[in-house]
Amino acid sequence: MTERLFEGADWDFRTLQRITDACEEVALKDLGLDVYPNQIEVITAEQMLDAYSSVGMPLFYKHWSFGKHFAFHEASYRKGLMGLAYEIVINSSPCISYLMEENTATMQTLVIAHAAFGHNHFFKNNYLFKQWTDAEGILDYLDFAKNYVATCEERYGRIEVERTLDAAHALMSHGIDRYPGKKKLDLRAEEKRAGRRRQHEEEVFNDLWRTVPKGAAKSRSALSIERRRKLLGLPQENLLYFLEKSAPRLAPWQRELLRIVRHIAQYFYPQSQTKVMNEGTATYVHYRIMTKLHEQGRITDGNFLEFLGSHTNVVFQPEFDDPRFSGFNPYALGFAVMQDIERIVTRPEDEDREWFPDIAGKNDVMGVLRDVWANYRDESFIGQFLSPKLMRQFRMFHLHDDPEERAGIRVDAIHDERGFRRVRRELARQHDVGFIDANIEVVDVDLSGDRRLILHHHVIKGSQLNETDAKRVLQHLADLWTYDVSLIEVDANDKVLREYVVSPRPIPAAVA
Amino acid sequence: MHIIDRRLNPGGKSLENRQRFLRRAKSLVQGAVKKTSQERDIKDVLEGGEVTIPLDGMHEPRFRREGGTRDMVLPGNKKFIEGDYLQRSGQGSAKDSGPGEGDSEDAFRFVLSRDEFVDLFLDDLELPDLAKRKIAQTESEGIQRAGYTTSGSPANISVSRTVQLALARRIALRRPRKGELEELEAEIAACTDEDLRAELIEKLEKLKAKSKRIPFIDPLDIRYRRYEKVPRPVAQAVMFCLMDVSGSMSEHMKDLAKRFYMLLYVFLKRRYKHVEIVFIRHTDRAEEVDEQTFFYGPASGGTLVSSALQAMHEIVRERFNPADWNIYAAQASDGDNSYSDGELTGMLLTDKILPVCQFFAYLEVGESGGSAFDLSDSSLWTLYDRLRNSGAPLSMRKVSERSEIFPVFHDLFQRRDTAQEKAAP
């Protein structure tokens, strides 16, 4: 019989090492996972709160909003409204997992299996992460960002920097390239380039140029609208990118700040598209590893029961009329679909053969799952693999709420033969970030005229922007652009629903 | 595979972010602090704790979509079939549960440490006329290090600096090192050649002579630590709490007074390292008492305000030299005084008390409901008003509700120009 990894709830660093080795053996040999090197760090609850408030990253530039989040989390933690996450894991190479010191030995095993192998494998192999993130470079880049922001604060003042960062944060969710085509982010090169840019600016700076008389303004042949838009790369949905490249009066350091915020937004973009899959993968992996360790006799029945308790809490899905309900639990949904795939691959029924001819009865569970983990995101994952059996099990139904409809909210489809495909399509759509986020793009700017920036919001299903927030964000946008900005909400037939016009606030001190 | 223990890393990484947030939210938090303090006992207030601040001012806007037709897939269908309609409000509670729509945090609770809380509460308060009087009378002398000097008392010799200079001098003048001499001696002892030996001995003698000429430590090298006297503000204050405890003072009035005194105490505690409190209660005669007796001890009798002032004056003379102490007094009373006592009170204040006080606060407390204040001013109020108008450092307010204490206190000690002080009612 194999030796136990630990007894009771206590652990020390030798135990952690044994646990990690045991998990690694199962992960690599039995599940065939492919992971970044692991780095496991033990931290305190307070440090966990710290990490929370800076979006889970170990180093981040200073900004008041992180302090706000810290205060918010701390207050709810103290009141017992919120438990702390058992772990935080960072998509970097080496892959860093934070473990809380309060966890019992069983919890540490669960967390290591979950984060250091589940998430880690997903980060390394999913196509979105491969496409958009740079695991080797991220920590260095964050370090650079932190120092850059600090330097800017020294040179240009905290208030100025804060103003720019506030504006950039407001636009962060619109600072993302949604479609590939651009080359993959290389954050190390990015950092070097920023340094060179700065150095170059310093070297070529010569105050005399300011005094050189300007020639008479060139007669501007009115650029054709088409040509102008093409030159500016319009339409452009990456608002931060557009501002960084085209805002006429930003100082170079402000452009660099926009760039930093944009890169970080882009780095997190895959995470928002793969929440269900990412958590599902990690949960599936920890479940397999823990079960295996139990089978091998490396953890006791008691430890395994403790694990099952935590596991069940994590994958609990309240029903819609339960007061605890707040949407689909990504852990529950992701884990359920992956277990279901395992079932379809090994013990398919007729229905499954009909719905999933490619994988039903294929018997290679891990092969299929690894392929799924590598090549799908939430939307396509649900759209492809949510089976009728699961829809019945969750008793899913689709509601359509049209404010014009007097009779109330219509039940459009339920978990029956007629409804399966519609329910699945609708649930997949709800996990499509491209669909959830407002579709806003810069459509035009009159550079030879009043330089007004014109944006369109393409309204889908009559859902317009929240007015208060929209005005505030536009104010930030106008402050960066330094001329008027107008946002027009148009429906699918190009009918104008509402128009916002915002003028920039006067800047107290000149920003050169 | 690395396993790292990060627990010993300094926590509080967020401290700076937290401070930034506080700085930014200052006015909001301050408002919240004041509001919270009105609702709580002073003791709790001083514990710091939780304040609720509206998130509105600290809101980070994003483009958010809302309204329109909504589609949602939910789990847990028990009885619906396709084509059913759910009431918008009522049994189908699905309405509010659309996933991912608008997260509304309208206010959030924020835990302030005791220091943060009191700081924010007292932030824009200042002791009136503090600066002016500080320069005039509240400075004493302290000493601090001020480099080195070539003369001084032996107790102040700086050994390290002296040796440092001696070493530099010895090296510069090429004083032979001990090792060098020993080496030479050993060489002589081992030497067999007579001529060479004589040469070596001569060399040794020369070096020895040189050693004698260049001493190990020369008086020239000696340095003394120098000290300089610097003026330092006196960091002590005394607060006199004067209270009328005659029969007309109700528990409610005492409670108001207590709150005021406690605030004053905290406020002074912030400014000074050392704060003393003297409790004096009076009826027609005054006595110094402890806090418990002051607030809760039964007493009754007539009212002679002058007795309390006289007692304070004597205590000041005995224990608190105005040259060393910042003296504050707060008097709480319902405003009644014997008719005959007015003149004496006025005289004591003008001649004895006010000249040594930094600030004298008079708080007239009334019954809850405050209707008494619609009547004409009390005799004390009239007297103090006259004194204030003649330029005495005296402030006066009327209070009848618990919730008024904080605003009144705030009002009394608000940072302001002297010009404004005079213009204020």
pLDDT digits 0-9 by tens, A211-266: 666 655 444 555 566 777 777 777 888 899 999 988 888 899 999 999 999 998 88
Question: Do the chains contact at B67 and A319, CB–CB below 8 Å?
Answer: no
Question: Chain B 36-75, CB below 8 Å of chain A: which residues?
Answer: 50, 58-75
| Cα distance between residue A197 and residue A202, in whole Å | 9
Average pLDDT in the A38-54 region? 82
| Cα distance between residue A244 and residue A133, in whole Å | 20
* Residue B129 pLDDT > 80: no
> Hey, is the C-beta of B99 within 8 angstroms of any chain A C-beta?
yes
According to DSSP, residue A135 is labeled T
| Cα distance between residue A83 and residue B240, in whole Å | 49
> Given the structure tokens 């290389």, which residue do they identify?
A186
* Residue B267 pLDDT > 90: no
Q: Measuring CA to CA, which residue among A86, A142, A97, A141 is closest to residue A119?
A: A97
> Which is it for the CA torsion A145, A151, A156, A159, positive or negative?
positive
Residue with more model confidence, A208 or A142: A142
B-chain residues near A20 (CB < 8 A):
1, 3
Q: Measuring CA to CA, which residue among B227, B330, B228, B235 is closest to residue B278?
A: B330
The secondary structure of A321-336 as a DSSP string is TSTT--S--HHHHHHH
* Residue B105 pLDDT > 60: no
Question: Do the chains contact at B80 and A414, CB–CB below 8 Å?
Answer: yes
Crossing angle of helices A330-346/A365-375, nearest 10°?
140
| Cα distance between residue A343 and residue A352, in whole Å | 10
CA A427 to chain centre: 19
Helix, strand or coil for residue B336? coil
Q: Which of left, alpha, beta for B330 (phi over 0: left; psi -120 to 50: alpha)?
A: beta
| Cα distance between residue B388 and residue B380, in whole Å | 12
Residue range A159-204, pLDDT digits in tens: 889 889 999 999 998 888 877 655 556 777 777 777 777 777 777 6
| Cα distance between residue B110 and residue A281, in whole Å | 36
Spatial contact of A389 and A420, defined as CB atoms under 8 Å apart = no
* Residue A291 pLDDT > 90: yes
B-chain residues near A318 (CB < 8 A):
76
Radius of gyration of the CA atoms of chain B, in A:
38
Residue B184, phi then psi, degrees to nearest 5: -65, -45
User: Which positions ≥6 away from B211 have C-beta within 8 Å?
Assistant: B175, B176, B181
B-chain residues near A21 (CB < 8 A):
1
Give the CA diameter of chain A: 91
A-chain residues near B86 (CB < 8 A):
399, 408-411
Give the closest-approach CA distance of B267 to chain A in angstroms: 27
| Cα distance between residue B131 and residue B142, in whole Å | 19
Spatial contact of A240 and A265, defined as CB atoms under 8 Å apart = yes
Question: Do the chains contact at A38 and B69, CB–CB below 8 Å?
Answer: no
Average pLDDT in the B128-145 region? 53
Query: Which residue pairs from B173-181 have beta carbons closer than 8 angstroms and sit at least 24 positions apart in sequence?
Result: B173/B214, B174/B210, B175/B210, B175/B211, B175/B214, B175/B216, B176/B207, B176/B210, B176/B211, B180/B207, B181/B207, B181/B208, B181/B211
Q: Measuring CA to CA, which residue among A95, A267, A265 is closest to residue A186?
A: A267
Report angle CA B93, B98, B102 to the nearest 5 degrees: 120
What is the enclosing helix (H) or strand (E) of A410?
Answer: strand A409-414
Question: Do the chains contact at B60 and A476, CB–CB below 8 Å?
Answer: no
Spatial contact of B353 and B388, defined as CB atoms under 8 Å apart = no
B-chain residues near A320 (CB < 8 A):
74-77, 93-94, 97
Residue with more model confidence, A475 or B397: A475
| Cα distance between residue B208 and residue B219, in whole Å | 21
Bridging pattern class, strands A409-414 and A397-401: antiparallel
Residue range A318-357, pLDDT digits in tens: 998 888 888 899 999 999 999 999 999 999 999 999 999 9
Radius of gyration of the CA atoms of chain A, in A:
26
B-chain residues near A462 (CB < 8 A):
67-69
Reading the block at residue B279, the tokens are: 């409790």
How many CA atoms within 13 Å lie on the side-chain side of B40? 17
Q: Express the helix, strand and coil content of chain A in percent, nearest 5 each.
A: 55, 10, 35
Residue range A65-111, pLDDT digits in tens: 887 777 777 766 666 655 556 678 888 888 999 888 888 899 999 99
Q: What is the pTM of this model?
A: 0.68
Residue with more model confidence, A8 or A291: A291
Q: Outline where B146-278 has alpha helix (H).
A: 159-172, 178-190, 194-213, 251-271
Give the model's confidence band at B92: pLDDT under 50 very low, under 70 low, under 90 confident, else very high. Answer: very low
Reading the block at residue B64, the tokens are: 């958010």
The minimal CB distance from B2 to the residues A39, A63, A437 is found for A39
Interface with chain B: mutation pick from A18, A172, A275, A321, highest number of B CBs within 10 Å: A321
Question: Do the chains contact at A72 and B108, CB–CB below 8 Å?
Answer: yes
3-state SS of A429-482? HHCCHHHHCCCEEEEEECCCCCCCEEEEEECECCEEECHHHHHHHHHHHHHHHC
Spatial contact of B327 and B240, defined as CB atoms under 8 Å apart = yes
> Given the structure tokens 């303004």, which residue do they identify?
A217
Q: Which of A433-437, A457-461, B51-55, B301-305 has the lowest mean pLDDT?
A: B51-55
Spatial contact of A131 and A180, defined as CB atoms under 8 Å apart = yes
* Residue A509 pLDDT > 60: no
Amino acid, res. A7: E
Q: Measuring CA to CA, which residue among B343, B380, B339 is closest to residue B360?
A: B380
| Cα distance between residue B200 and residue B203, in whole Å | 5
CA B304 to chain centre: 36
